[in-house]
Amino acid sequence: MDFDLSAEHQMIRDMCRDFTRDVIIPRAEAIEKTGEYPYDIMDQMAELGMMGIPISEVYGGSGGDWVGMHLCIEEISKGEPTLGALLDVTTSVVAQERAVFGTDAQKSKWLTPIAKCEKIGAFGLTEPDAGSDAKSIRTRSALQDGEWVINGTKQFITNIGLDNASLIIIAAVTKKALQGPGRISTFIVPKDAPGFCLGKRYEKIGWHGSATHEVIFEDCRIPEENLLGDPAKGFAQHLSVLETGRISIAAIAVGAAQACLNESIRYATERVQFGRPIAAFQAIQFKLADMAVAIELARNQYLKAAWLKDQGRRHTFEATTAKLFASEMLEKAASDAVQIHGGYGYMAEYPVSRFYKGAKVLQIVEGTSEVMRTLISRELALG
Ligand SMILES: Cc1cc2nc3c(=O)[nH]c(=O)nc-3n(C[C@H](O)[C@H](O)[C@H](O)COP(=O)(O)OP(=O)(O)OC[C@H]3O[C@@H](n4cnc5c(N)ncnc54)[C@H](O)[C@@H]3O)c2cc1C
Is residue 269 over pLDDT 70? yes
131: Cβ below 6 Å to ligand 1? yes
- Identify the pLDDT of residue 115: 87
Can you give the pLDDT at residue 116? Answer: 84
Cβ(212)–Cβ(155) below 8 Å? no
In the predicted model, what is the mean pLDDT of residues 117-140?
Answer: 95
- Check if 218 is active-site: no
Mutation to probe ligand 1, out of 368, 377, 378 (largest number of atoms < 8 A from CB): 368
Distance 365 CA to ligand 1 centre (A): 6
Over the stretch 18-36, which tens digit does the pLDDT of each residue have? 999 999 999 999 999 999 9
Q: How much distance in Å is there from the Cα of 370 to the middle of ligand 1?
A: 10
Strand, helix or coil for residue 210? coil
- CA distances in angstroms from 158 to 45, 62, 119, 134, 342, listed in the order given: 18, 24, 14, 17, 33
Q: Atom of ligand 1 at shortest distance to CA of 202?
A: 1
User: Among residues 200, 229, 236, 247, which one has the least CA distance to residue 110?
Assistant: 229
Could you give the percent of the chain with pLDDT greater than 70? 98
List the residue whose alpha carbon is closest to atom 38 of ligand 1: 132
Cβ–ligand 1 distance for 364 under 6 Å, the answer: yes
Q: With 70 as the cut, is the pLDDT of residue 181 above it?
A: no
Cite the DSSP H helix spans in 271-365. Answer: 282-310, 316-341, 351-359
For ligand 1, what atom is nearest to the CA of residue 159? 8
* Ligand 1 neighbourhood includes 365 CB (under 6 angstroms): yes
Question: Mind listing the pLDDT tens digit for each residue in 195-252?
Answer: 999 999 999 999 999 999 999 999 999 999 999 999 999 999 999 999 999 999 999 9
Would the CB of 139 count as within 6 Å of ligand 1? no
Q: Which atom of ligand 1 is nearest to the CA of 204?
A: 1
3-state helix, strand, coil in the chain (%, to 5): 60, 15, 25
The pTM of this model reads 0.97
Q: Which residues of 338-363 are buried (b: 16+ CB within 10 A; e: fewer)?
A: bebbeeebeeeebbbbbbbbbbebbb
Average pLDDT, rounded, for the chain: 96
- Residues 93 and 166: their CA atoms lie apart, in Å, by 15
**pLDDT above 90: residue 172:** yes
- Pairing relation of β-strands 120-124 and 165-175? parallel
Q: Say if ligand 1 is within 6 A of residue 368 CB.
A: yes
CA distance 266 to 66: 32
pLDDT tens column, 76-106? 999 999 999 999 999 999 999 999 999 999 9
Q: Residue 1: pLDDT above 90? A: no
- Per-residue pLDDT band at 175 (split at 50, 70, 90): confident
CA angle 135, 139, 142 (to 5 degrees): 115
Catalytic residue from among 127, 243, 366, 379: 366
In this structure, what DSSP letter does residue 202 have? Answer: P
Measured CA distances, 43 to 120, 337, 380 (Å): 11, 32, 44
Around Cβ 23, how many Cβ atoms within 10 Å? 18
Mutate to test the pocket of ligand 1, among 126, 136, 366 (most ligand atoms within 8 A of CB): 126
177 pLDDT band, cuts 50/70/90, is: low
Average pLDDT over residues 314-339: 98
